[in-house]
């Protein structure tokens, strides 16, 4: 009989764990001893992508550092829903100061730890896209250029959700927000504005920059773990759908994140010292329409008549990402397993 | 006030905030019926035994025991079953169906190799049951009745046990050592088998042996004859007799050119047997087209590979020594073949009729309450005939005539006989909702092409009765088992535990690695349901 590779989790290579896998090869989220950095009782909406992404990332960071993590949090949903005084959902040392200064606070904590000689304790700064891409951007850029020993995580839900869904610098074109109404020739957010924080972070030539989504847990955990292997400034940009702000069903949060990656609209990659070192390829290519349709923030594109021209422009953006990052599946290799776990997960008998 | 500056309230955990009150729907774990299980005529719990087999090693034996709860013939079934389970398999819509039969065969062969035995735990009931016919249905009933604690005696008219498994299925599809091993295992459980014992009167046999109930499974062993005008020199045999004579000492003489009349699986078996007996030409004559042939595709393909020729749209008008006269047919609008009057000749030294089989029901003559229609015995849903205490199954009752259906009848009848002997009526089990493809989240299943079984090379297939289809080995059987999607049943992938934004899925840990929903915090978002690969969770509206 021909030699055949057996995958440990044939029945679901993309799932969180599997009874057939030894515990150390399962994702952190599959472990009974995960730290649940963000615990139950928080006031995030049903199906919140940010709550999910924050627990994924921080649990992975806790595991990578032996539970020696301090988090500095920007103002935003994440702070508001987790810590309405006097309650807190955080099960790790956590500090909140202002909307715009989370990277600077994180720098300060890192500096204090350095003075105290506590190199074992690591610092994570975190915030939403508003606090990262817009309001906290000067502090973030400063943290990058000084190469402070902080992992900064941006949970990108593409608008200011906490204050009522206003446009941010990370809001995509054509999306409806409270400040980009779906009216006129160019309904929703305009094309040609906004910025890509991961690419700007790369331009700082910091040790590590990566993007991830809540739909690829193993990839996300791998990137947090990888980031913790570096000293200096690191940046992780996590795509977290917002059911409330995007007008999507609460059970579709992960599906929509998956579609963002599979359409090419959200490129998932990692970069070291300013150069891309790895991309997560598309597994089942889909047109952008499949991503847009389940979200009411794009409902104006599917009215009568539908705005095929706008959808085509969004498709162009996706196609550009696919070209730019080389996201198409390699026909020879088949699908990559997320989290680069392929080598670990294969056994040859 | 003994608090730090500007602090007025005690700080606490958000666990005090029971967000479960937001919920309008709740997530609930369910077991749905996998389509393979639903399609299995023997009622096997396929998903469950594959689940055990996925572990490999000791899991194989557990899988085999699970399989044996429903079917005493894994090694036979993995070879001769037409596996409707694979036609229903959801993985077929993803890439290719799981090779259920090949894993089943592997487990069956492992059991024979390692001498695994079924467990009988029931206490003796003191009841005696007579089974008439040692074919798949009778043996299956005997096996299940024994497991239920009853004392079983089988009477069979033939010289060897197995019924159509021995006298109908050629050995290149079912090697006799496999058949013998699985039959022997049933007899070793304490079943009494009396061969060459034709029952001529059921009621007498019951009375003489002081049996409390009887299960009839005499099969259908009489080849149907069609009236074909034939010259004196014409040599005509029926396929059932031909296949039966293959089990005797002397090989039947068919000549160099053999024609087979019929389009079913038996016709293919007869044609392939004729080839192996040395016929230079074996031609199947069938009155319709290939598409309308009742034989299974793979049997037709294998026959054609071995050099069997097909003559479509033809009937036999006349048979003589050395030749047949055929009439060409054409299909009318309703797809029924109509004669065209156009004749042709086909050289043939012998003609094998494979036109179906009939049951010999003479043992039921004069038994009150028995109803026979279209040559088969009518039974109630509980497999009982019109005569109390006489049950029947297999080819002699109205059903599809396959080994698997027979085995299923045996099991079903055994359970109802057991209930009847205890003076109870078996309540039909509530079936779960079927786990259809749309209930799954197939994103999570890695691409994994089906493992194909090796085929014997053609030269050896033409000349010998060696087994044509090979088996899997330890590693690729494991690969194949792990292709199972576990439709409708949790396989402990930890996804629900991972994807809950509220940590409201609790992992209970070993054994079984089950999960529970913490309704104090479940907000009812439905993410666990949407991201469950196997469709084993559903949302249920909260009562208001």
Cβ within 8 Å, pair B499-A11: no
Note the pLDDT of residue B226: 80
B530 touches chain A (CB under 8 A): yes
Contact between B168 and B245 (Cβ < 8 Å): no
Residue B450, Cβ density class (10 Å: 0-12 exposed, 13-18 middle, ≥19 buried): middle
The residues, ordered by sequence, that sit 6+ positions from A188 with a Cβ below 8 Å of its Cβ are: A173, A174, A175, A176, A177, A180, A181, A182, A297, A298, A300
Contact between B252 and B246 (Cβ < 8 Å): yes
Cβ within 8 Å, pair A254-B524: no
Cβ within 8 Å, pair B524-A46: yes
Task: Compute the distance between CA of residue B13 and CA of residue B290 in angstroms, rounded to an integer.
Answer: 72
Residues of A with Cβ-Cβ distance to B527 under 8 angstroms:
47, 52, 250-251, 253-254
Q: Chain B: give the shortest CA distance to residue A80, in Å.
A: 12
CA dihedral A135, A138, A144, A147 (to 10 degrees): -120
Nearest one of A218, A329, A331 to A283, comparing CA atoms: A329
Instruction: Count the helices and strands in chain A (H runs, E runs).
Output: 12, 11
Cβ within 8 Å, pair B509-A32: yes
Q: Chain A: give the shortest CA distance to residue B36, in Å.
A: 16
Over residues B380-413, the pLDDT tens digits come to 999 999 999 999 999 999 999 999 999 999 999 9
Over residues B150-204, the pLDDT tens digits come to 999 999 999 999 999 999 999 999 999 999 999 999 999 999 999 999 999 999 9
HEC secondary structure over B125-146? CCCEEEEECCCHHHHHHHHHHH
CB atoms within 10 A of CB A203: 12
Question: Searching chain B, which residue's CA lies closest to the CA of residue A48?
Answer: B501
Task: Compute the distance between CA of residue B284 and CA of residue B271 in angstroms, rounded to an integer.
Answer: 7
What is the separation of C-alpha B47 from the centre of its chain, rounded to a whole number of angstroms?
14
Cβ within 8 Å, pair A86-B10: yes
B80-87: average pLDDT: 96
Question: Nearest 5°: phi and psi at B216?
Answer: -95, 125
**Would you say residue B53 has pLDDT above 80?**
yes
Least CB-CB distance to A254: which of B18, B503, B527? B527
Interface test with B, best of A41, A96, A338 (most B CBs within 10 A): A41
Least CB-CB distance to A30: which of B491, B498, B518? B498
Start-end of H helices in B89-131 = 100-114
Look-up of token digits 């279209």: B374
Nearest one of A89, A103, A90 to A135, comparing CA atoms: A103
Domains of chain B: 14-31+490-541 (3.30.70.20), 35-118+431-481 (1.10.1060), 128-221+369-421 (3.50.50.60), 225-357 (3.50.50.60)
Q: Which two tokens stand for residue B428?
A: 């039909």
Residues of A with Cβ-Cβ distance to B54 under 8 angstroms:
10-11, 20
Q: How far is CA B297 from CA A18, B173, B304, B455, in A?
A: 38, 15, 11, 16
Contact between B399 and B72 (Cβ < 8 Å): no
Residues of A with Cβ-Cβ distance to B491 under 8 angstroms:
11-12, 18-19
Task: Compute the distance between CA of residue A318 and CA of residue A266 in angstroms, rounded to an integer.
Answer: 8
**H helix or E strand, kind and range, residue A145:** helix A137-145
Cβ within 8 Å, pair B504-A40: yes
Over residues B468-506, the pLDDT tens digits come to 999 999 888 998 999 999 999 998 889 999 999 999 999
Question: Searching chain A, which residue's CA lies closest to the CA of residue B7?
Answer: A86
Cβ within 8 Å, pair B494-A349: no
The three-class DSSP label of residue A157 is coil
The three-class DSSP label of residue A254 is helix
Whole-complex ipTM: 0.91
B514 touches chain A (CB under 8 A): no
The three-class DSSP label of residue B264 is coil
Contact between B29 and B492 (Cβ < 8 Å): no
Note the pLDDT of residue B361: 93
Please provide the CATH number assigned to the domain covering A5-348. Answer: 3.40.50.970
**Would you say residue B111 has pLDDT above 90?**
yes
Cβ within 8 Å, pair A251-B473: no
Bridge-partner residues for B316, per DSSP? B326
Task: Compute the distance between CA of residue A270 and CA of residue B239 in angstroms, rounded to an integer.
Answer: 69
Residues of B with Cβ-Cβ distance to A251 under 8 angstroms:
525-527, 529-530, 539
Q: Chain A: give the shortest CA distance to residue B41, in Å.
A: 25
Reported as half-sphere exposure (CB side, CA atoms, 13 A), residue B383 has a value of: 32
Q: Chain B: give the shortest CA distance to residue A29, in Å.
A: 5
B3 touches chain A (CB under 8 A): no
Question: Nearest 5°: phi and psi at A180?
Answer: -130, 85
Residue-level length of chain A: 349
Bridge-partner residues for B343, per DSSP? B327
Backbone φ/ψ region at B483: left (φ over 0), alpha (ψ -120 to 50), beta = alpha
Question: Searching chain B, which residue's CA lies closest to the CA of residue A7?
Answer: B479
In chain A, where the domains are located: 5-348
Cβ within 8 Å, pair A43-B17: yes
Question: Nearest 5°: phi and psi at A258?
Answer: -65, -45
The DSSP bridge pattern shows strands A269-272 and A208-213 to be: antiparallel
Contact between B359 and B164 (Cβ < 8 Å): no
Bridge-partner residues for B203, per DSSP? none
Residue B544, Cβ density class (10 Å: 0-12 exposed, 13-18 middle, ≥19 buried): exposed
Contact between B44 and B33 (Cβ < 8 Å): no
Least CB-CB distance to A42: which of B14, B476, B494? B14
State the DSSP string of B221-259. -EEP-----B-TT--EEEHHHHHHHTTSSSPPP--SEEE
B73-79: average pLDDT: 97
Note the pLDDT of residue A336: 46
Residues of B with Cβ-Cβ distance to A20 under 8 angstroms:
54-55, 482
Least CB-CB distance to B15: which of A41, A48, A49? A41
The three-class DSSP label of residue B206 is helix
Going residue by residue through chain A, which has 349 residues, state the pLDDT in tens, using 9 for 90 and above: 344 555 544 444 688 888 888 877 889 999 999 999 999 999 999 999 999 999 999 999 999 999 999 999 999 999 999 999 889 999 999 999 999 999 999 999 999 999 999 999 999 999 999 999 999 999 999 999 999 999 999 999 999 999 999 999 999 999 999 999 999 888 999 999 999 999 999 999 999 999 999 999 999 999 999 999 999 999 999 999 999 999 999 999 999 999 999 999 999 999 999 999 999 999 999 999 999 999 999 999 999 899 999 999 999 999 999 999 999 986 654 444 444 333 333 333 3
Q: Chain A: give the shortest CA distance to residue B432, in Å.
A: 22
Least CB-CB distance to B494: which of A7, A10, A16? A16
Residues of A with Cβ-Cβ distance to B14 under 8 angstroms:
39-43, 82, 87-89
Question: Nearest 5°: phi and psi at A22?
Answer: -65, 145
Look-up of token digits 């249905």: B137
The DSSP bridge pattern shows strands B537-541 and B257-261 to be: unpaired
Residues of A with Cβ-Cβ distance to B494 under 8 angstroms:
15-18, 26-27, 29-30
Nearest one of B219, B39, B213, B206 to B142, comparing CA atoms: B213
Task: Compute the distance between CA of residue B513 and CA of residue B492 in angstroms, rounded to an integer.
Answer: 6
Instruction: Output b/e per residue, A298-327; b: 16+ Cβ within 10 A.
Output: bebbeeeeebeebbeebbebbeebbeebeb
Backbone φ/ψ region at B83: left (φ over 0), alpha (ψ -120 to 50), beta = left
Task: Compute the distance between CA of residue A310 and CA of residue A187 in angstroms, rounded to an integer.
Answer: 9
Task: Compute the distance between CA of residue A315 and CA of residue A320 in angstroms, rounded to an integer.
Answer: 9
Cβ within 8 Å, pair A251-B22: no
Q: Chain B: give the shortest CA distance to residue A42, in Å.
A: 6
Q: Chain A: give the shortest CA distance to residue B524, in Å.
A: 7
CB atoms within 10 A of CB B541: 10
The three-class DSSP label of residue B19 is helix
Least CB-CB distance to B9: which of A86, A334, A349? A86
Interface test with B, best of A23, A40, A329 (most B CBs within 10 A): A40
The three-class DSSP label of residue B68 is helix
Question: Searching chain B, which residue's CA lies closest to the CA of residue A243?
Answer: B525
Note the pLDDT of residue B512: 61
Look-up of token digits 């004559």: B285
B477 touches chain A (CB under 8 A): no
Question: Searching chain A, which residue's CA lies closest to the CA of residue B526?
Answer: A251
Q: Which two tokens stand for residue B495?
A: 């996804």
Q: Which two tokens stand for residue B359?
A: 């049951």
The three-class DSSP label of residue B384 is strand
Question: Searching chain A, which residue's CA lies closest to the CA of residue B506?
Answer: A32
Residues of A with Cβ-Cβ distance to B55 under 8 angstroms:
20
Over residues B287-305, the pLDDT tens digits come to 999 988 999 998 999 999 9
Residues of B with Cβ-Cβ distance to A332 under 8 angstroms:
none
Residue-level length of chain B: 544
Cβ within 8 Å, pair B22-A46: yes
Interface test with A, best of B493, B514, B530, B536 (most A CBs within 10 A): B493
Residue ranges of B 352-411 with Cβ closer than 8 A to chain A: none
Q: How far is CA A1 from CA A311, B54, B261, B459, in A?
A: 50, 19, 38, 20
Over residues B323-370, the pLDDT tens digits come to 899 999 998 888 888 999 999 999 999 999 999 999 999 999 989 999
Cβ within 8 Å, pair B498-A17: yes
The residues, ordered by sequence, that sit 6+ positions from B204 with a Cβ below 8 Å of its Cβ are: none
**Would you say residue B129 has pLDDT above 70?**
yes
Note the pLDDT of residue B110: 97
B513 touches chain A (CB under 8 A): yes
Note the pLDDT of residue A5: 52
Task: Compute the distance between CA of residue B214 and CA of residue B198 in angstroms, rounded to an integer.
Answer: 15
């Amino acid at each position: 009989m021909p030699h055949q590779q057996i995958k440990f989790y044939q029945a679901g290579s993309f799932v969180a764990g599997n009874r057939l896998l030894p515990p150390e090869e399962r994702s952190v989220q599959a472990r009974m001893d995960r730290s649940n950095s963000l615990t139950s009782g928080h006031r995030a909406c049903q199906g919140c992508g940010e709550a999910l992404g924050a627990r994924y990332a921080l649990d992975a960071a806790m595991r990578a550092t032996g539970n020696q993590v301090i988090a500095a949090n920007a103002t935003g949903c994440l702070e508001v829903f987790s810590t309405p005084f006097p309650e807190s959902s955080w099960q790790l040392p956590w500090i909140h100061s202002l909307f715009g200064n989370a990277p600077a606070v994180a720098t300060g904590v890192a500096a204090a730890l350095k003075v105290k000689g506590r190199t074992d304790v690591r610092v994570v700064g975190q915030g939403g896209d508003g606090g990262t891409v817009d309001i906290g951007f000067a502090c973030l850029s400063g943290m990058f250029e000084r190469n402070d020993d902080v992992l900064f995580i941006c949970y990108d839900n593409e608008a200011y959700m906490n204050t009522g869904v206003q446009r941010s610098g990370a809001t995509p074109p054509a999306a409806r927000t409270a400040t980009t109404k779906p009216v006129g020739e160019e309904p929703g957010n305009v094309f040609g504005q906004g910025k890509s924080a991961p690419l700007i972070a790369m331009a700082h030539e910091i040790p590590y920059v990566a993007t991830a989504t809540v739909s690829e847990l193993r990839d996300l955990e791998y990137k947090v773990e990888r980031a913790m292997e570096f000293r200096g400034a690191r940046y992780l940009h996590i795509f977290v759908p917002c059911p409330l702000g995007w007008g999507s069903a609460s059970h579709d949060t992960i599906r929509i994140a998956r579609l963002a990656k599979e359409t090419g609209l959200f490129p998932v990659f990692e970069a070291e010292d300013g150069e891309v070192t790895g991309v997560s390829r598309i597994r089942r290519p889909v047109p952008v329409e499949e991503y847009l349709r389940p979200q009411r923030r794009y409902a104006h594109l599917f009215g009568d008549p539908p705005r095929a021209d706008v959808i085509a422009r969004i498709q162009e953006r996706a196609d550009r990402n696919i070209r730019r990052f080389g996201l198409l599946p390699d026909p020879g290799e088949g699908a990559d397993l997320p989290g680069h776990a392929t080598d670990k997960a294969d056994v040859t008998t | 006030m003994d608090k730090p500056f500007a602090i007025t309230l005690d700080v606490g955990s958000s666990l005090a905030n029971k967000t479960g009150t937001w919920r309008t729907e709740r997530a609930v774990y369910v077991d749905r019926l996998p389509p393979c299980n639903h399609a299995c005529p023997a009622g096997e719990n396929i998903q469950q035994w594959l689940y055990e087999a996925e572990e490999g090693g000791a899991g194989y034996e557990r899988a085999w025991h699970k399989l044996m709860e429903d079917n005493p013939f894994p090694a036979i079934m993995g070879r001769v079953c037409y596996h409707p389970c694979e036609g229903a398999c959801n993985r077929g819509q993803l890439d290719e169906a799981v090779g259920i039969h090949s894993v089943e065969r592997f487990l069956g062969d492992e059991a024979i190799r390692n001498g695994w035995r079924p467990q009988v735990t029931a206490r003796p009931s003191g009841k005696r049951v007579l089974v008439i016919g040692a074919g798949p249905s009778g043996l299956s009933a005997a096996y299940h009745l024994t497991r239920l604690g009853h004392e079983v005696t089988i009477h069979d008219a033939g010289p060897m046990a197995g019924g159509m498994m021995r006298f109908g299925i050629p050995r290149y599809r079912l090697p006799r050592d496999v058949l013998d091993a699985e039959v022997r295992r049933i007899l070793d459980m304490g079943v009494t088998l009396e061969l060459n014992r034709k029952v001529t009167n059921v009621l007498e046999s019951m009375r003489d042996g002081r049996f409390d109930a009887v299960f009839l499974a005499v099969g259908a062993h009489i080849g149907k004859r069609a009236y074909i005008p034939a010259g004196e020199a014409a040599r005509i045999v029926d396929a059932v007799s031909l296949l039966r004579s293959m089990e005797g000492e002397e090989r039947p003489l068919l000549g160099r050119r053999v024609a087979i009349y019929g389009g079913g699986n038996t016709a293919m078996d007869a044609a392939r047997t004729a080839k192996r007996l040395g016929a230079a030409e074996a031609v199947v004559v069938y009155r319709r087209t290939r598409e309308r042939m009742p034989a299974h595709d793979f049997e037709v393909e294998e026959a054609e590979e071995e050099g069997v020729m097909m003559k479509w749209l033809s009937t036999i008008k006349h048979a003589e020594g050395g030749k047949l006269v055929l009439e060409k047919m054409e299909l009318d609008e309703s797809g029924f073949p109509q004669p065209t009057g156009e004749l042709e000749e086909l050289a043939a030294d012998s003609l094998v009729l494979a036109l179906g089989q009939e049951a010999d029901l003479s043992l039921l003559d004069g038994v009150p309450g028995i109803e026979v229609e279209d040559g088969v015995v009518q039974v109630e849903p509980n497999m009982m005939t019109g005569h109390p205490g006489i049950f029947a199954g297999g080819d002699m009752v109205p059903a599809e005539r396959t080994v698997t259906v027979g085995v299923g009848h045996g099991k079903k009848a055994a359970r109802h006989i057991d209930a009847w002997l205890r003076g109870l009526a078996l309540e039909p089990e509530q079936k779960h909702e079927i786990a259809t493809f749309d209930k799954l989240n197939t994103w999570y299943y890695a691409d994994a092409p089906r493992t194909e079984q090796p085929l014997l090379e053609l030269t050896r297939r033409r000349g010998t009765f060696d087994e044509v289809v090979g088996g899997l080995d330890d590693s690729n059987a494991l690969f194949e088992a792990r292709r199972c999607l576990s439709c409708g049943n949790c396989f402990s992938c930890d996804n629900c535990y991972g994807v809950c934004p509220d940590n409201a899925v609790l992992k209970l840990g070993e054994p079984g690695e089950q999960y529970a929903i913490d309704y104090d915090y479940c907000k009812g978002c439905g993410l666990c349901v949407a991201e469950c690969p196997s469709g084993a969770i559903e949302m249920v509206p909260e009562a208001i």
